[in-house]
Amino acid sequence: MAFIDLRNEAHQIYLKANNLYDSKDYFVHIEMVEDLLIKHKKIFKLESDYNNTIIASWFHDVIEDCSTSYEDILEISNNDVAAIVLAVTDVPAENRLTKHLLTMIKTVKDYRAIVLKLCDILANTVYSKEHCNKMYFRYVKEYEYRRPIFTKALSFYKTNLNQENLNKLLLELDEINQF
């Protein structure tokens, strides 16, 4: 499937599930994450890593929010995209902290998933701050425990990532989270 077809397929999945983002089309959030990945494209040394992560960004919430399966994503994309999506999909748990910690165990195994999750966190934090949403303070608090785990994991992938560009993303996250 062509890039634009995959993007449209993802949008249709969110629409069919009636997912909203702060009463807006859920793709508002997806486009924010996509825009951040485009902005930070140079983090990736390989174009294939960037391309797979961009595609995964379009589908990153479909498993947990749209009753779409890993197999569904695999069928319409490829192994890499499906693996990245699965790596950022929340694990059900009794509270947000446990859910995040269990999910991070999967996420840290794939540097592309970490970068996608960082862009997702940044998109949510920026949006909630700009719209005076009470979630902003929760996102800031959650970033306190997510940052050290993700940055430590990323240190093992130095050969796959451009450190200078990765640091720009982390700085942007630190600034919005007052870290």
Give the pLDDT confidence score for residue 178 in this predicted structure.
87
List pLDDT tens digits, range 112-158.
Answer: 999 999 999 999 999 999 999 999 999 999 999 999 999 999 999 99
Give the pLDDT confidence score for residue 17 in this predicted structure.
94
Give the pLDDT confidence score for residue 4 in this predicted structure.
86
Average pLDDT over residues 156-170: 96
Give the pLDDT confidence score for residue 1 in this predicted structure.
73
Residue 34 neighbours by CB distance under 10 Å: 21
What whole-number distance in Å separates Cα of residue 16 and Cα of residue 51? 25
Give the pLDDT confidence score for residue 170 in this predicted structure.
97
Closest CA to 166 of 115, 108, 90: 115
Structure confidence at residue 3 as a pLDDT band (50, 70, 90): confident
Enumerate domains of the chain plus CATH numbers.
Answer: 3-176 (1.10.3210.10)
List pLDDT tens digits, range 61-85.
Answer: 999 999 899 999 999 999 999 999 9
Average pLDDT over residues 39-64: 97
Give the pLDDT confidence score for residue 132 in this predicted structure.
93
Whether 33 shows a pLDDT value over 90: the answer reads yes
What whole-number distance in Å separates Cα of residue 53 and Cα of residue 6? 13
Distances (CA, A) of 103 to 42, 49, 107, 126, 143: 26, 21, 6, 22, 14
Structure confidence at residue 179 as a pLDDT band (50, 70, 90): low
List pLDDT tens digits, range 13-26.
Answer: 999 999 899 999 99
Claim: this prediction has a pTM higher than 0.85: yes
Give the pLDDT confidence score for residue 137 in this predicted structure.
95
Contact present, 139 and 125 (Cβ < 8 Å): yes
Joined together, the tokens standing for residue 63 give 């498993």
